[in-house]
Structure 1
Amino acid sequence: MAARPRVYRAEGVILRRRNLGEADSILTVFSGNEGKFEAIARGVRKARSRMRGHLEPLTRSRVLVAQGRNLDVFTQAETVDAYRRLREDLDASAEALYCLELVDRFTEEREPLPELYALLLEALSLLEEGNGPAVTRHFELRLLALLGYEPHIDGCVLCGDRLPEEETLLSPSAGGLVCRGCRAETGGGRIVSVPVVKLMRFARRATMAEFVALDARPAVEQELRAAVAELVRYHLDRDPNARRFVEGVSALHPKD
């Protein structure tokens, strides 16, 4: 792999920030060309900082970065999209922050993933347009597929038999759907309905916009959310922190 230049440019979404000292911040950025990386923004918390406002979480920015001894250093930053409408919608911003955390937790540093970056930008755009949790469900399933964690849903993952059109076990540890005859061989899982299985299969071939336009029934949406949550939890070995925030916001105005 060619060495990175001492000064390089990137365009990416700010995933998170942690403060350092009285005025500095360390930012985690996810970009198409550099993948995920961290760099320090010196003095960014000062009122007169030229980069202040351009390096906020949930902001898409163009940055100029210089290699440092321990941490790279931001030298310039320019906002491409501040997602202002998204920030003004509590539900949408909760879903967006959850998507950012998924990217952060599932990716390694300096691993370019242009398809995942494009998927993230599409999700943020659709969330800003007022689309709901269906955006996040498609994002979760496509992220798992892009990173090699896609569940096997075309038949029994253990024996390969076709599955009858009935409730089926989704086993994260087995790697997908499991027929009745093989259930004893799994380490547990969640029973999912036929509509949920069909939604998962549709998500695999549909664009995000097509998946959102399907407008599944609220009960099916909730069941799909719980099923995908188990897959995410299994592969991360924990629940993302933002999930509780999403659920809390959603509980403010539950659907029937």
Structure 2
Amino acid sequence: MLQKIEGIVIRTSDYGETNKVVTIFTREKGKLAFMARGAKKPNSRLSSITQPFTHGSFLVQSGSGLGTLQQGEMLTSMRHLREDLIMSAHAAYMAELLDKSTEEKKPNPYLYELFEQSLHYLNEGYDAEILTAIFEMKMLQVIGLHPELSSCVNCGSREGRFAFSIRENGFLCHRCFEIDPYLLPLSQAAIKLLRLFYFFDLNRLGNINVKEETKKELRKAISLYYDEYSGIYLKSRKFLDQMERMQSLLNKEQEED
């Protein structure tokens, strides 16, 4: 049966010498995989439409097994995103996190909008590290994780200084710090941003200006939380960490010069 779907390419893998298996996260039907015959040929009409992060309208033929991608029309190329190595690495991480956190044929319009909006912001040049942190915080609910970020996880207080407790699954106020000797002390700026990223509407994102020290705090807190609770290992995270270390070294060298 032929049908038209809107979606974003999140993964491709080679199949034989000339074909690709293309995984598309769609608005209507969730995650779907299709055979794109001849897509590896440079002159194929499917070559450009099956590039990672392409937002398009696809004509597909589905059956009992793997469906077939017949043709597609590009809605957004995400060209700037693909041309920038750092932005592309962050987009690949988001796509892999989305892929590993979802099952096929499970529609989730909220998740589709979140991913599409995140890629658009990346393509427009917004801060990639902050967009990735927001995406990670939003994905927690998708994978069934619900840290307590609106009040102290122990006493319920909303007043005072806070720190992040991986073990207790949320914030602890200064009156309850002794409960977790391994709690993560964070600046109050990082605490506010963790809370904001978890709750706010991404469509309302304005100008982003976060200090490098605060970004490092966010990265550490979110990574430790994912490592402890998600059970998800992502190859793209390792690559992203390597790139961030290289960027940090370059920044230090420039400061010293």
- The interval holding the TM-score normalised by the smaller chain is 0.7 to 0.9
Instruction: Confirm whether residue 152 of structure 1 aligns to residue 148 of structure 2.
Output: yes
Identity rate, percent: 28
| Inter-partner Cα distance in structure 1 for 2:71 and 2:208 | 42
Structure 1 position 63 matched with structure 2 position 80 = no
Q: 1:77 to 1:138 in 2, by over 3 A?
A: same
Which residue number corresponds to residue 122 of structure 1? Answer: 117
Aligned equivalent of 2:32: 37
What corresponds to 2:41 in structure 1?
46
Report the counterpart of residue 239 of structure 2 in structure 1.
245
1:199 aligns with 2:193: yes
Q: Deviations over 1:217-250 (max 9, x none)?
A: 1101111011112233334314421112222222
Taking structure 1 as reference, are residues 73 and 235 closer, same or farther at Cα in structure 2, changes over 3 Å only? farther
Higher mean alpha-carbon deviation, 207-216 vs 141-150, is at: 207-216
Deviation of 1:13 after TM superposition, in Å, equals 0.9
Contact 1:43–1:49 (Cα < 8 Å) also in 2: yes
CA contact (8 A) 2:100 2:232 kept: no
Q: TM-score, normalised by structure 2?
A: 0.85
CA RMSD in angstroms, aligned pairs only:
2.3
Aligned to 2:210: 216
With 66-75 and 121-130 compared, the bigger mean Cα shift is at 66-75
Which of 120, 134, 137 is the aligned partner of 1:141?
Answer: 137
Q: How many residues align?
A: 246
- Verify: 1:23 aligned to 2:18, yes or no: yes
Q: Residue 87 of structure 1 aligns with which residue?
A: 82
SS at match of 1:221: helix
| Other structure's SS at 1:213 match | coil
Matched, 1:182 2:176: no
Alpha-carbon distance, 1:164 to partner: 5.6
| Offset, 1:205 | 4.3
CA contact (8 A) 1:169 1:177 kept: yes
Provide Cα deviations, 1:98-145, integer angstroms capped at 9, x if missing partner.
Answer: 111111111111111111111111111111111111111111112223
Runs of 4+ deviating beyond 6 Å = none
Question: Structure 2 vs 1, CA of residues 39 and 203 (structure 1 numbering), >3 Å: closer, same or farther?
Answer: same
Partner amino acid, structure 2, of 1:143:
M
Give yes or no for contact 2:21–2:34 (8 Å, CA) kept in 1.
yes
